[in-house]
Structure 1
Amino acid sequence: MPSPDDIVTAMCRSWADPDPDRISAFFAEDAVYHNIPMEPIHGRAAIREFIAGFLSTFESIDFDIHHQVATGNIVMNERTDTLRGLGKDTPLPVMGVFEVADGAITAWRDYFDMAAINRAFGADAAPE
């Protein structure tokens, strides 16, 4: 079975050529995805729907991982996510915390400044 570090790295890479089904397959059925400025999303099906909606605005996201550490089932990475869409590339500094169990992501929390998204795309363009 791949390590938690390998699972998180593969999930991050999958956003470069995004497919909501492929990305959501990295998550446990009862996973929680929480972009800290927004409300948490519960369950793989809801995560898949969020990803699909997000990708209706953005063509892809490149995750440039600067640092990643793993201990046990916890993986943390500091990265720059480059949002590609609406005719521009927008870099977003992010800190991500992942919990992995039985080969699937059970929790993903991303910490970032929502004001950077609002400045780049306007409040109406930010994903909900």
Structure 2
Amino acid sequence: MSAEDTVLGMWRALSARDWDQVKTHLAPDCIYADMPVGPAAAARGPEDIVKRLKIGLEVLAGYQNHDGLLVADGPNVMYEHSETWTWATGEVAVLRFVTVHEVVDDRITIWKDYWDMSALANFAPPNWLADFATADMSWVYDATDLI
């Protein structure tokens, strides 16, 4: 399987919120970092990465990834895409991302999302950020020296 196929397969699984399928695309020591927050609040390993993803995505009434430009250089894949987040209260946000992946042996080993967090805050319901205060944060991993 190519690095591109691995990345696109993971994003298809994520768009479907098929958490078990997402995990199959991640290496056991994969690091996921939301770069607006920084690598000090990364997640490591499929289980913790899915815990992290669920905080933002599981509560949504709708979530969809939209394909965009994908550029690969060996194991490194850059993916420009967007996501539509829809809350049960009717708010909708279209978020634009550039994601950098490293793929080794058909598994993602590094996943870094670059996006504008203020765009999300502008469209999310007022309680969205407050909900993070009560979320399970056991996934937090400091990857500062690794990415």
For normalisation by structure 1, the TM-score amounts to: 0.87
Whole-Å separation in 1 of the counterparts to 2:62 and 2:2: 25
Q: Identity over the aligned pairs, expressed in percent?
A: 28
Larger Rg over CA atoms:
2
CA RMSD of aligned residues (A): 1.9
Instruction: Flag structure 2 segments of 5+ consecutive residues without an equivalent.
Output: 133-147
Show CA shifts across 1:18-57 (max 9, x none): 1222212210010000111122112222102112333332
Of residues 74, 78, 94, the one that matches 2:80 is 78
Secondary structure of the equivalent of 2:72? strand
Secondary structure of the equivalent of 1:107? strand
CA contact (8 A) 2:60 2:87 kept: yes
Instruction: Flag structure 1 segments of 5+ consecutive residues without an equivalent.
Output: none
Whole-Å separation in 2 of the counterparts to 1:94 and 1:48: 19
Corresponding residue of 1:112: 115
* 2:15 aligned with 1:16: yes
Of residues 63, 66, 71, the one that matches 2:65 is 63
Aligned length: 127
Whole-Å separation in 1 of the counterparts to 2:34 and 2:120: 12
Tell me the amino acid that sits aligned with residue 59 of structure 2: T
CA contact (8 A) 1:82 1:91 kept: yes
Secondary structure of the equivalent of 1:15? helix
CA contact (8 A) 1:35 1:111 kept: yes
Q: Which structure shows the bigger proportion of residues in strand conformation?
A: 1
CA contact (8 A) 1:32 1:107 kept: yes
Whole-Å separation in 1 of the counterparts to 2:34 and 2:100: 10
CA contact (8 A) 1:17 1:60 kept: no
Corresponding residue of 2:99: 96
Moved over 3 A (4+): none
Corresponding residue of 1:36: 35
